[in-house]
Amino acid sequence: MDAHPLKVGIVGLGRWAKVLTRAARTSDALAIVAGYSRSDEKRTAFQRETGVPSVPTLDAMLADPAIRGVILTVPNEQHLAVAARVAAAGKHVYTEKPIASTLDDGLQIAALEQAHGVTVTVGHSARLMAGIQQIREAIDAGDLGRVAFLEANFSNERALELTPATWRWYKDRAPGGPLSQLAIHQFDVLHYLGGEILEASAIASRLSPVGAEVDDQSMTLLKFADGKVGYVGSCWTSPGVFAVRVFGSKGLMHYEIDFGTWDTPDALHESSTLYIQRGKSGYASREVLAPRPSDMFQAELEMFAEACRTGRAGSLNAHNGNVALAIVYAALRSIERHGQAVRVADVLDEARARVAQGSGRVA
């Protein structure tokens, strides 16, 4: 391992770039040394607020041999175009979730690894929360017995704040509304906890009074390869919540965070709930557990730094990112078919065929 922090750049200098820059400052593994946006105003504001120097062009960042990787916090539909330029320059890619706005783009981003000898890391940070990790440890240790059912919810009030000036207003830029913006986190978490997901069936509704194009309520049922079943709900017109519950033959575990601390994940353990309920014990006999201190954003950035150093992507890889996105598109197809179950593999295979035939954008 290098003795000094690995140097990376960041492209797209909005709110999330500032969140990740704060997280990077808590780590010795990497340092964000350059920022780029097409907006002069954003470049100036980012440099003033974070102290990270801005560069006038993306080419200037990519020409710097000291920069080993680039973090992308640009809008979803720009991920492929920017990632392709970064990879072609021999830099490793980190892209915020979803990996792309379309599965065709996501598969082409994954293909950049082999084409240019780089790695792609996707910011599905929720699986790195300490509480999620502790549930996975309990599953692996057999403490829950045979897991048969998983349920999750990720909701917030974002649909009440949308305007035509925001990209999430438009269904071609935020497909399914909370499906692609919130539920996708939980699809990745349940994939991590439960294994391969075979099919999805979903319903959705549009209830926000603001009039955006996107649905703002969604419910998705999942069928796992080993017979487990699961549920992911997402309401875009309510106070924020992130919760996961896993049911097994010997016990169940529940984890919930205070969504107000999402941007400061090092404080999640101070206000989150984690418990295990064993055997035939009732709710009153649950064992309250202490979530370990953690920082999911620092952890994902350190995973990216390790991928840059070793040339091997960790669990936040392009494959897992595309699986989560494929579940979104299976759910969207199910909504169109009034809840009919849709196989995730079929959605992936069709996207691969389109990319192979050249109908997707060429990276």
Residues of the chain with CATH 3.30.360.10: 130-293
DSSP readout, 226-254?
TS-EEEEEEESSS--EEEEEEEESSEEEE
User: pTM, whole model, 2 decimals?
Assistant: 0.94
Name the superfamily (CATH) of residues 6-125+298-317+344-356: NAD(P)-binding Rossmann-like Domain (3.40.50.720)
Average pLDDT, integer, range 146-156: 98
pLDDT of residue 361: 47
In angstroms, what is the C-alpha Rg of the chain?
A: 20
Residues of the chain with CATH 3.40.50.720: 6-125+298-317+344-356
d(CA 26, CA 33): 14
Considering only CA atoms, which of 104, 62, 106 is closest in space to residue 87?
Answer: 62
Q: Quick one: how many helices (H) and strands (E) in the chain? A: 12, 14
Residues in contact with 71: Cβ distance below 8 Å, sequence separation at least 6, in sequence order: 8, 9, 10, 11, 17, 20, 32, 94, 95, 301, 304
Average pLDDT, integer, range 64-88: 96
Give the fold, CATH level 3, of 130-293.
Dihydrodipicolinate Reductase; domain 2 (3.30.360)
Mean of the per-residue pLDDT values of the chain: 94
Residues in contact with 208: Cβ distance below 8 Å, sequence separation at least 6, in sequence order: 159, 160, 162, 216, 236, 237
pLDDT level of residue 251 (50, 70, 90 thresholds) = very high
